[in-house]
A = this chain, B = another copy of it.
Amino acid sequence: MTSRQNHHRVRAERGIPEATVARLPVYLRALTGLQDRGVATVSSEELAAAAGVNSAKLRKDLSHLGSYGTRGVGYEVEYLVYQISRELGLTQDWVVAIIGVGNLGRALAGYGGFASRGFRVAGLLDADESIVGQEISGMTVEHIDRLEDIIAGHGVSIAVIATPAGAAQGVCDRVVAAGVTSVLNFAPVVLSVPDGVDVRKVDLSIELQILAFHEQRKAGGPGDYDPVAGGGAPPGATQYVEA
């Protein structure tokens, strides 16, 4: 049976709730920011403010990792950074392959956030002969035919799919067959994968549509037209985020 993009996975014995896992990277970023500013300890209230969450939620999230705070004082920044990094698996390197070197693939290849957090790009692959061989961000684009070689050879464990929609499922099947169990999908399709494979999806178009929905509602509900709804203070407006 093929499972679909279901992020509400079963808890393991160690059981960190999925919602918590999704917030840990945010805390981590806030913490490294504090670290850079030389802050040694931080209270849950301060850190929660920096991360944009409720402080009780932050404390409960951190409590799932263990008791790393000191009552009356707060959390030691450096130690917390280490604990969260370890929990997220960032104390080791992860090897990534980017498949599809169009506009987006190029942007991803040049994204600094990869290397800085322990993600190493082992290869850029594309099916287009005119792109293969090009040098991008210091890497040479390989032909998609070499997909299996590269995955096996470099020990790729995360595949980033940035192909056109039509090619995505086929590529996904191949990377999964080659042993990859984590996929980050930028193509606007729902990927089917076997159980045990994680897929996360990033979709610009969907995000815009969700924004449009709320924007429309601020402007007066479905059917009403007024895209230039700026300025005003919408009553009972909503706040969202999250990805």
Please give the residue numbers on chain A whose beta carbons come within 8 Å of chain B beta carbons, in ascending order.
3-10, 12, 14, 18, 21-22, 24-26, 28-30, 32-33, 35-36, 49-54, 57, 76, 78-79, 81-82, 85-96, 102-104, 106-108, 110-114, 116-119, 151, 155, 157-158, 178-184, 188-190, 192, 195-218, 221-243
Is A86 a contact of B239 with CB atoms below 8 Å? Answer: no
Is A242 a contact of B32 with CB atoms below 8 Å? Answer: yes
Distance in angstroms from A117 CB to nearest chain B CB is 6
Q: With A21-B213, A202-B243, A206-B243 known to touch, is A196 a contact of B92 (CB < 8 Å)?
A: no
Distance in angstroms from A56 CB to nearest chain B CB is 11
Distance in angstroms from A229 CB to nearest chain B CB is 6
Is B242 a contact of A36 with CB atoms below 8 Å? Answer: yes
Q: CB-CB < 8 A to A190: which residues of B?
A: 26, 30, 50-52
Is B211 a contact of A25 with CB atoms below 8 Å? Answer: no
Distance in angstroms from A12 CB to nearest chain B CB is 6
Top 10 nearest A-B pairs (CB, nearest first) are A179-B230, A89-B216, A5-B241, A4-B52, A82-B234, A196-B237, A103-B107, A52-B190, A155-B228, A113-B205
Q: How far is the CA of A227 from the CA of B122 in the complex (A)?
A: 13
Q: CB-CB < 8 A to A8: which residues of B?
A: 239
Is A211 a contact of B184 with CB atoms below 8 Å? Answer: yes
Is B208 a contact of A94 with CB atoms below 8 Å? Answer: yes
Q: How far is the CA of A18 from the CA of B32 in the complex (A)?
A: 31
